[in-house]
Structure 1
Amino acid sequence: MTLDWLKPEIILGTTMYAVIGVAIFWACFVIVDKLTPFKLWEEIVEHKNVALAIVVGAMCISIGNIVAAAIHG
């Protein structure tokens, strides 16, 4: 059993890809929020719109899968 995954370059590369993935995910979420006719956060939190929360959750999972696939290659 080798500990190749403990090498600094592997840890740094993994951290870099994670930060890039989160940044791309956040940018996509902000773009979708700007494209909708209302503020997503306000509608979900203040108006308790459960249907919108489910749609936004599905959108987050989808964007996360796309970003992960793009990073993975």
Structure 2
Amino acid sequence: MATKKALRCPTCRTLVLERNEDFPFCSDRCRRIDLGKWASGDYKISTPIQDPDLLEELARSNKTQRQNDED
């Protein structure tokens, strides 16, 4: 017999079964609260970027953005 996967909702900590349509959230409301936190900058990825190609691309993008802002 297969075990059912269950996690805690990241927003309200309610136990949620894998078969729930909003999994891993318990509801659409909690999903939207979480999305709002990402959109407002409450959540941040704290690991520094290690890929040299990506760092170079970001530097070029920032330089272009600053030039556009000055125009």
Q: Is the pair's TM-score, using the shorter chain for normalization, greater than 0.5?
A: no
Higher relative contact order (CA 8 A, sep 6+): 1
Q: Which has the higher helix share?
A: 1
Provide TM-score, normalisation by structure 1.
0.31
Could you say which structure has the larger radius of gyration? 2
Q: Which has the higher strand share?
A: 2
Provide TM-score, normalisation by structure 2.
0.32
